């Protein structure tokens, strides 16, 4: 009986370790992350200006070798203009595939704001769009591939940028 429990525990533990190993990103060469809403005068930004009902376009990705940086500029629907905004969920580097993953989602205008909605402060029902800029600075080489994921209220878009061969 004890042998069955031991084998069961060993099997479950082994599966847990295998699953954990596959989801852990490589040690990060990311030196810094910056996120900015409504950035002033950014090259390429004009392609995102337009009415709030404008169609969704893929974000622009620019890699600057001299600064060891990757810049992503995008515009996405975020929900209510009085309650929601774009947020940087994460920027993660995977060495095995030499890929930088940037995930931008939506969040509350400020911490604890959603809780105050229930206290009589409501959100407007308009759909607003946020223009954002993400800048990721690498401590070493720049990635060959950048994957940008935008998550907005159940709608997810993915854009992949491949650097030209050096």
Could you tell me which of 25, 62, 63 has the C-alpha nearest to residue 141?
63
Q: Domain for residue 119, yes or no? A: yes
- Average pLDDT taken over every residue of the chain: 78
Please give the tally of structural domains in the chain: 1
Q: Domain for residue 1, yes or no? A: no
Domain around 59: 26-162
pLDDT band at 153 (very low <50, low <70, confident <90, very high): confident
Q: Answer yes or no: are the C-beta atoms of 148 and 161 closer than 8 Å.
A: yes
Q: Domain for residue 17, yes or no? A: no
Q: Domain for residue 81, yes or no? A: yes
- The per-residue pLDDT for 45 is 46
- The per-residue pLDDT for 20 is 47
Q: What is the pLDDT of residues 102-115, one digit of tens each?
A: 999 998 876 655 55
pLDDT band at 19 (very low <50, low <70, confident <90, very high): very low
Q: Domain for residue 140, yes or no? A: yes
Q: Domain for residue 19, yes or no? A: no
pLDDT band at 35 (very low <50, low <70, confident <90, very high): very high
**Does residue 24 have a pLDDT over 70?**
no
Q: Domain for residue 146, yes or no? A: yes
Could you tell me which of 136, 133, 106 has the C-alpha nearest to residue 39?
133
Q: Domain for residue 8, yes or no? A: no
pTM over 0.75: no
Q: Provide the token pair at 108.
A: 């509350």
């Amino acid at each position: 009986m004890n042998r069955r429990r031991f084998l069961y525990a060993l099997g479950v533990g082994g599966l847990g370790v295998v699953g954990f190993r596959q989801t852990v990103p490589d040690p990060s060469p990311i030196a810094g992350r910056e996120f900015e809403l409504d950035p002033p005068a950014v090259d390429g930004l004009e392609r995102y200006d337009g009415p709030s009902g404008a169609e969704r376009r893929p974000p622009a990705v620019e890699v600057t070798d001299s600064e060891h940086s990757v810049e992503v500029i995008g515009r996405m629907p975020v929900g209510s203009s009085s309650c929601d905004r774009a947020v940087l969920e994460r920027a993660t580097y995977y060495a095995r595939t030499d890929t930088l993953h940037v995930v931008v989602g939506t969040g509350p205008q400020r911490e604890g704001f959603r809780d105050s909605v229930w206290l009589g402060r409501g959100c407007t029902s308009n759909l607003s769009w946020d223009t954002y800029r993400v800048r990721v600075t690498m401590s070493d080489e720049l990635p060959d591939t950048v994957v940008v994921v935008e998550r907005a209220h159940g709608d997810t878009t993915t854009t992949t940028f491949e650097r030209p061969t050096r």
